[in-house]
């Protein structure tokens, strides 16, 4: 199974099985694995009571290898330490933190499993690129198992402030494991700086006779112009959606079902908009799309809360021929989303905290430059670091948030064009998903020699 011709192994917690896959990481990994022959490795989503061999499918693009987790560790990895500890910790949700020794132990074992499988696939000198918070210990595991090649990690979510990170009982072990990577990538400078402050070291870090670098690589999106489709309301994913919107102003929000995305806060601000600026009643519709989570990750309490809030808002402010909020609980393909983005007058992207948030960039990419929509963006999203030409809002302040929505809905075309031009310039500077992965892998394989070095 070990193939010396494989020069790159990419690890993520899951890999899509089969030819169908969501847009996203795969669009960046496919060209990287084509140019530097290798394979994408992760969990299959299946559970077994006894170990199984790796399953490899070289016919897919990108090629993939997957494995089943053991029943005694799978729930704890997927639902416990990652979801109950790391996710709220890294997003600053102090009240949702949970610390449990058994869950930490399961996280350690699972990371060791990923590392052992990676070493089954290629020589000890291969390049390994690890993704996200589920696999923060893999670099240390690979080093213990004798891997000699470069190992990089990209963290797609925020990094917490030092004081919050220090509440983690295993914070020292986790930080030392993170510093066993050669290169750690973030979407924005603010998240990279928080890791530097937590490690008390600027620049390059000397750790365990190795040099660790921290870099910033903003994730990019594919241009919507690559879609050979007519983007418009005439081809909505929901047959009666166009009729329900009609000639009203159309606002869109697209989020996974997650506490950090600020959906309840958005609904509160939208209600405030309609109450404080009654001229928008009957003239505006908010389409809230909630992308379903995997059944095992479904936050039923949050889902019920959203459905209750939307029902109350529509019942109290809606009329027989106008419902203020249209709620879709479904996946939409890239073409359908691009059509919706193009048709929208306003996109509301307002997470409470986010590593980047590509919805903001996808909305901008889908706009027509002559008559673009307006992006209302949370100042706490990583994307706000680059996209200052959006209307930056505070999702925690419903009155101010509502005022920003009012401003967006009434923005004159000249200002919309000016803001869109500045935002589109940012997207062009970011390149493509393929260039994003190329930049990271080039930095990983060919480190500069003149950065300052500090010793951890």
Is residue 451 in some structural domain?
A: yes
The CA R_g of the chain, rounded to the nearest whole Å, is 23
Q: Which residues are catalytically annotated?
A: 156, 354
304 and 165: one domain?
Answer: no
**Same structural domain for residues 59 and 32?**
yes
Which residue has tokens 């919507």?
224
pLDDT by residue for the chain (456 residues), tens digit each? Answer: 678 789 999 999 988 765 444 446 777 888 888 888 899 999 888 878 877 789 999 888 889 999 987 776 555 565 689 989 999 999 999 999 999 998 999 899 889 999 999 999 989 999 999 999 999 999 999 999 999 999 999 999 999 999 999 999 999 999 999 999 999 999 999 999 999 999 876 666 777 777 899 999 999 898 765 554 444 444 455 556 766 787 899 999 999 999 999 999 999 999 999 999 999 999 999 999 999 876 556 788 999 999 999 999 999 999 999 999 999 998 888 888 999 999 999 999 999 999 999 999 999 999 999 999 999 999 999 999 999 999 999 999 999 999 999 999 999 999 999 999 999 999 999 999 989 999 999 999 988 764 543 433
Cβ neighbours, 10 Å, residue 214? 25
Query: What distance in Å separates the CA atoms of residue 417 and residue 112, rounded to the nearest whole number?
Result: 51
Q: Is residue 1 part of a domain?
A: no
**Residues 276 and 390 grouped into a single domain:** yes
- Residue 213's CB: how many other CB atoms inside 10 A? 19
Question: DSSP assignment, residue 168?
Answer: S
Residues 448 and 382 in one domain: no
Q: Give, in order, the Cα–Cα distances in Å from 26 to each of 68, 114, 126, 149, 450.
A: 20, 19, 20, 23, 33
What is the spatial distance between Cα 375 and Cα 423, in angstroms, rounded to a whole number?
9
Distance CA 357, CA 379 (A): 12
| Co-location of 251 and 177 in the same domain | no
Q: Is 50 helix (H, G, I), strand (E, B) or coil?
A: coil
| Its pTM surpasses 0.85 | yes
The domain total for the chain is 2
Looking at the structure, tell me whether residues 181 and 251 fall in a common domain: no
Looking at the fold, whether 204 and 239 belong to one and the same domain comes out as no
Structural domain that includes position 136: 8-220+434-455
Cα maximum dimension of the chain: 70
Residues 266, 155 within the same domain: no
Helices (H), 318-370: 334-343, 358-366
Residue 279: inside a domain, yes or no? yes
83 with 193, same domain: the answer is yes
- 137 and 253 in a single domain? The answer is no
Do residues 302 and 355 both lie within one domain? yes
Q: b/e per residue, 98-108, with b = 16+ CB within 10 A?
A: eeeeebbebbb
Bridge partners, 454 (sequence order): 205
DSSP assignment of 54-93 equals: -EEETTSSS-EEEEEEEHHHHHIIIIIIIIIIIHHHHTT-
Q: Are residues 62 and 178 in the same domain?
A: yes
Q: Is residue 290 part of a domain?
A: yes
Give all strands of the β-sheet with 8-14 in edge-to-edge order.
55-57, 64-70, 38-48, 8-14, 127-131, 151-154, 183-186, 210-216, 204-207, 453-455
Strand partners, 455: 206
Q: DSSP assignment, residue 384? A: G
Is 208 within the bounds of a domain? yes
The answer to whether position 3 is within a domain reads no
Residue 2 placed within a domain: no
Look up the CATH number of the domain holding residue 370.
3.40.50.2000
In a domain, 121, yes or no: yes
């Amino acid at each position: 199974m070990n193939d010396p011709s494989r020069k790159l192994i990419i690890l993520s917690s899951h890999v899509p099985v089969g030819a169908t896959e969501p847009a996203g990481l795969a669009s960046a990994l496919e060209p990287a694995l084509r140019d530097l022959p290798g394979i994408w490795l992760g969990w299959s989503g299946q559970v077994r009571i006894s170990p199984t061999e790796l399953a490899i499918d070289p016919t897919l693009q990108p090629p993939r290898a997957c494995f089943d987790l053991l029943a005694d560790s799978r729930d704890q990895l997927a639902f416990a330490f990652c979801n109950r500890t790391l996710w709220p910790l890294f997003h600053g949700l102090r009240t949702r933190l949970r610390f449990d020794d058994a869950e930490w132990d399961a996280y350690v074992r699972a990371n060791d499993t990923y590392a052992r499988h990676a070493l089954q696939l290629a020589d000890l000198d291969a390049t390994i690129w690890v993704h996200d918070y589920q696999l923060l210990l893999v670099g240390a595991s690979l080093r213990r198992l004798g891997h000699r090649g470069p190992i990089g990690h990209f963290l797609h979510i925020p990094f917490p402030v030092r004081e919050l990170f220090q509440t983690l009982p295993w914070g020292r072990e986790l930080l030392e494991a993170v510093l066993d990577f050669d290169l750690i990538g973030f979407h924005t400078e603010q998240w990279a700086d928080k890791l530097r402050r937590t490690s008390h070291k600027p620049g390059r870090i000397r750790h365990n006779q190795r040099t660790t670098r921290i870099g910033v690589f903003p994730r990019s999106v594919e241009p919507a112009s690559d879609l050979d489709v007519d983007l418009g309301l005439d081809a909505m994913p929901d047959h009666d959606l166009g009729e329900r919107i009609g000639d009203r102003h159309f606002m869109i929000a697209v989020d996974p079902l997650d506490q950090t995305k600020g959906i309840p806060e958005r609904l509160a601000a939208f209600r405030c908009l309609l109450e404080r600026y009654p001229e928008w009643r009957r003239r505006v519709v908010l389409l809230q799309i909630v992308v379903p989570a995997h059944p095992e990750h479904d936050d039923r309490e949050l889902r019920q809360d959203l459905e209750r809030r939307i029902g109350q808002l529509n019942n109290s402010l809606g009329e027989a021929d106008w419902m203020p909020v249209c709620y879709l609980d479904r996946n939409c393909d890239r073409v359908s989303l691009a059509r919706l983005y193009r048709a929208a007058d306003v996109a509301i992207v307002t997470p409470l905290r986010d590593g980047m948030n590509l919805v903001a960039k996808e909305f901008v990419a889908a706009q027509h430059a002559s008559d673009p929509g307006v992006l209302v963006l949370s100042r706490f999203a990583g994307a706000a670091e680059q996209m200052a030409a959006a209307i930056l809002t505070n999702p925690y302040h419903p009155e101010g948030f509502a005022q920003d929505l009012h401003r967006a809905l009434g923005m004159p075309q000249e200002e919309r064009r000016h803001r869109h031009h500045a935002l589109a310039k940012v997207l062009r500077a970011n390149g493509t998903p393929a260039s994003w992965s190329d930049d990271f892998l080039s930095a990983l394989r060919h480190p500069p020699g003149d950065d300052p070095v500090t010793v951890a």
